[in-house]
Each structure stands twice: as structure tokens, then as C-alpha cells.
Chains A and B, each alone.
Chain A
Amino acid sequence: MLGTSDALLAAMEGRSRSRRRLGSGRVTLAVGVLILGTIIVAAAAAPLLTSYKPDAIDPLNPLAHPFTHGHPLGTDAFGRDILSRILYGGRIDLLIAFGATSVTVVCGTVIGLVSGYFGGWVDTVIMRIVDLVFAFPFLVLVIAIIAMLGPSIFNMFVAIWLTSWISYARITRGHTLVAKRQEYTLAARALGYTNRRVMLRHVLPNVVSFVIIFAMVDAVGNVALGASLGFLGLGAQPPSPEWGVMISDGQNYLLSAWWLSTLPGVALILVGIGFSLIGDGLADILRPGE
């Protein structure tokens, strides 16, 4: 009888050890950084990777299949090289991902921090605005704002900045409220630190991990949003090589040249996966235990 339990224990411990060695959080994070990093580098180094300009028309070579000599990913209806357009387009989409997200993260976090920390009528007003914006389907509001300002890539940024901050405000405010009641905050206040110092040095660090993880998820959303608006003609405009615009351009040629609309989508997916993995990896590392 003793033998059986020993054998079981040994087997279970063996399995447990091998599972732990994989150290999933760091691996996930690393893979995510690798994927995203590769895309960023590729987009930045576009001139080195391709000799074609993204808007270089070649009427002699329209709708070339992928793996055609000189055009690894084919060409579009105007003979423009797809690989080149994807690489240069990557600059735009990555700009959307980082530009839209970073501004909303900073603004939303600051607003949430202030709102939660000071409370009172400031809090009430800000939260009312947040609730109000939340009541709208996000994309609808963004489109409406773009409609008023006029469709362009800059106005798209403005529309996103005006609306996306609310998620961060809400998250940060919630965590600030909790942090406010913790002992370390009360201690800091008792020591006479200024409000600003308490907020930045004591409350914020505890909130940051939640914010960053959420920001990764948000980034995926913003990339998709930017591409969707480009697709609808409400963001980036043709002849921009922005991936959403490319997909829209390819719609008329779906049956004959499927790669026009499909390949930019793959690029979008890779960026999305990169951000998601980074977010998941960070979540595992910063806040272990499901």
C-alpha cells in the first residue's frame, strides 16, 4: 500500500515540476515583444527591405500574384507593390496603435486619479461625463465626431482621444478610491506630503499595473478601430497604404486577387496578437494567480 502512494506522489511531483519550468508569464511576454518588435522594426526599416515606393504605380504589372518575381506579395490594381505598401502602411497603423492609446492612457489615468482622489463635486461631474459617454456605442460616437469634423486621419485621432479616455478614468478612479483608504496613503497624508506627491508616488504605482495591462487590450482595439475606419473611408484616406484602406481597395477584386484584401488583415492580426501576448504575459507576471 505504501508503494502506491509513493508512486502517485512521485508522478504528480514530476508533472508539477515540468509545468513550473515553463514559466509561462515570461515566455508569453517575450513572444509578444518579439512579434510586435519585429513588425515595428520592419515598418521602420521599410526603405531597406523594399525598393518600391508604396505609391509607385506600375500600369504594366497590375494584380500580380504573390511570389511573382520582384513582388513577393503581389501587386494591386495600380501595380503598386503590396509588400511595400504593407511595410509603409505599418508605420501608420502602428502610429495609430501607440498614438491613440498613449494619449488616452495618460489623460484618462490622470483624470481618474484626480477624480478618485479629490472626490466631491469634481468626482461627480467627471463620473457623470464618463457614464454619459459610456452610454453610447463607442464606434457610433467616434463616427459621429468624425462626421462633424470631417473624415481624415487626424480627425480620427481626435475622435478617439475624445472618447477612449473614459475606460482609463473609470479604472483608475476605482483603484484610487481603494488606495485612498489604505494605510500607506493615510500615513503619507499624515506625514504632510502634498496631494500631488501622494497621488503620484503612493497611489499611482499601485494602479499602474492594472492600467498597463488594460492598455495592451485597448491597443488591439485601437488598431482594429483605426483599420475599420480606414476601411470605411472615415480615417486614413486613399491612396494611403494604411491597412484598412488597402483592404477596402481590394474589395472590388476579391475574387480575382484575394491577396489584396487578405494580406493586410494578416498584418493586423499579427500586431493584435503581439499586443495581446504582451498583455497576457504582463498580467501573469504582475498579478499572478487567476
Chain B
Amino acid sequence: MSEAPNAVLEVSDLHTFIATGGGVVRAVDGVSFSLGEREILGLVGESGCGKSVTCRTVAGLMPSPPARSTGHVRLAAYGERNVLDLSPRELQQMRGTHLSMIFQDPMSALNPVMRVGDQVEEAVGAHQRLGARDRHRRAIELLERVGIPVPERRMRDYPHQFSGGMRQRVLIAMALASRPKVLLADEPTTALDVLIQDQILSLLLELQRDFGMSMILVSHDLGVIAEMCDRVAVMYAGQIVELTDTETLLASPRHPYTISLLRSLPDMHAQTRYLRPIAGSPPPLIDVPAGCRFAPRCPLAIEECHSWQTELVQIPGRAHTARCFRHDETTREDAWLERSYESE
């Protein structure tokens, strides 16, 4: 059943539907990817494309009455079993030891009424029987490891007494307390200052190497992805539209959305003075129309695009797939009509 037997994490045909007041949102609609050992996979896309929901579904964090999922999630440690079908007890066992996650806003991701030290110790003691003193010691070690100065003193502080960067370091410490093999990082630096972003990303790289972890890094910032990731999956409207290694993605992207995205980045050396945003906006994920979801905004779209039952097409050569049957034409400059620069 699995296509990448050496993968640490393998996601196959994941769907997550969320029941809302206005209808059912198809937040994740057929996502498949694998994560290798010591690999960093980037998930990039606009807000609302489903990258966060994908991670939360894998971690089992989507609230179950409104959100329901189908698909197969395989973790190396659990053999062929579907992580989505784990019992609550097994799920509890899995979290922290095999898979962990850090979130975007460190302020809201920490319990405001609990001392930081207690929260870290809680993570430390989650899966091991340790005495209070040992827990305390391990917690201090962890905080030191992530670069919190004077950890013994700072442990007694509350989250609101820390700066944004420090809070994120605390979150990372907690996530790594039980040495998970897989870390899901959901926009870990988006809420931070640019300078701090760099520090946190370096820290993550360092820890990933030292702990031998595999990581999924979610971001809407292509720059971050370019710096950190080995492979990248570009997501749009709940689906992966392109998946390949970082170099190839940046050098020779094939999906029109990826290309538009790259072109819309401010480029210091470019001749043009104007930014080129992609006209229009992503489709609502309720009552999704048939066909390619990017077609309404795609400069290369033709008649068939609106009825094509999309799938990831293999690009010959490297391990590279794209959800577009016109991917051969996308590399040709002249195929890109000026339509993309007109406002709607």
C-alpha cells in the first residue's frame, strides 16, 4: 500500500471536511505526500489553502464534531496502521513521543495562567515516570538547549513575561521533550520579528540535525521555505498543486500557481517597478466547482481546464509532480499572456 516504504510519515489521500454554518468546507481535499528520515518538507501556500489543517489532521487535533477526515496516515513507528484510526489512548501515547507540533502564535500557544517551568515539566513528565527533581532538571536542560538564558529563574515566570522569540523557544523545548521523530512546525516564525525569525529558524535547523528529526515546515513565506526545506509541496485550495525538491521548484516550477507565486515576489534585481500580484482570490471551499481550482485565475487556462478531474501529473526527469496537464507549456514565456496583470 505505501509508496515510500522508508518514509517516516506517509499521508495518502487525506480529506478533511469541516461542517460550518454555511455548508461543508473541503479544507483538505486529497492530499498525499511522504516525509523521509531527517528530511524537511515545506508546505507553502496562501492562508486558507489547507496547510495548517493538514498538519492538525495528522496530529489528530481537528475538533471532531465539526471536522471529519478520511484517508491514510502512516507513521513508521506504527507499521501499516492508520494513525487516523488510533484509539484515544494510543493517540495520547503517540503525541510527544513520535510526533509533535509547534504553533504559529507563541502567546496564545502557552497557557497564560501556568508558570512556564510547570508547562515544560508537564511535557517532560508526559511519557516518562520521573521524580519531581529529575523533571525539574530535565526541564532546565531543555530550556538551556533552546537558548533561554538563566532558565532556573525564568521557569518561575509566566508566559506574558517572555518576549515573542523566547516564547517560541519554550514551545520548541516542550515539543522536543519526548524526542519525537517527526516535528510539525506550523508557521513558527510568522508572528515574530524578522531578526528573531532568523534565530528561531537556525535553532530549528540545529535541533533537527542534532535530534535526527524529520520536519514539516508550514509557511506562506517562500523565502523561509527556500532557506530551510529539502522538498516543497505547494498547496492551493485544499490540494497539493506541485511537489518536488526545493532547488527544482525555484529553478523550474511547472504549475502556473507556483510560477505566479514566484513572479509575485518582490525582486531586487528586476527591471519592473511594479509588483505583480495574482489577480482574483482563491475559491471558497464550500460547493467547490468541478475542474481545476486555479483555472479561474490561471493565465494559461483553456476550456478543458474547467472540467478536468485534476490529479498530480508526473513530470519526467526528476521526482516532480504538478497538478496541471499543460505543464509543458508553462515553461514557455510566450504562453504567459498579459492577462495576469489585468485587474478583475
Contacts and interface: CB of A to CB of B under 8 A. Distances in A.
Determine direct contact between A and B, CB below 8 Å: yes
Interface of A: 1-2, 4-5, 8-9, 12-13, 15-16, 20, 289
Taking each of A5, A12, A16, which has the highest tally of chain B beta carbons within 10 Å of its own beta carbon? A5
Contacts of B12: 1
Contacts of B20: 16
B13 A12 contact: no
Contacts of B68: 8, 12
B17 A9 contact: yes
B24 A12 contact: yes
Q: Main SS of the interface on chain A?
A: helix
Contact of A15 (B13, B15, B19, B30): B19
Given A2-B13, A8-B15, 7 more contacts: A1-B72, A5-B70, A8-B17, A9-B17, A12-B17, A12-B24, A289-B21
B19 A4 contact: no
A16 B66 CA distance: 10
Taking each of B13, B24, B26, which has the highest tally of chain A beta carbons within 10 Å of its own beta carbon? B24
11 contacts: A2-B13, A4-B70, A5-B13, A5-B30, A8-B68, A9-B15, A12-B19, A12-B24, A13-B24, A16-B20, A20-B22
Contacts of B71: 1, 5
Contacts of A15: 19
A151 B24 CA distance: 59
Q: Main SS of the interface on chain B?
A: strand
Contact of B26 (A1, A9, A289): A9
Contacts of A9: 15, 17, 24, 26
Contacts of A5: 13, 15, 30, 70-71
A2 B13 CA distance: 8
B72 to A, nearest CB: 7
B316 interface: no
Interface string B155-183: 00000000000000000000000000000
Contacts of A1: 12-13, 70-72
B23 interface: yes
Contacts of B30: 5
A8 B24 CA distance: 11
Interface in B131-166: none
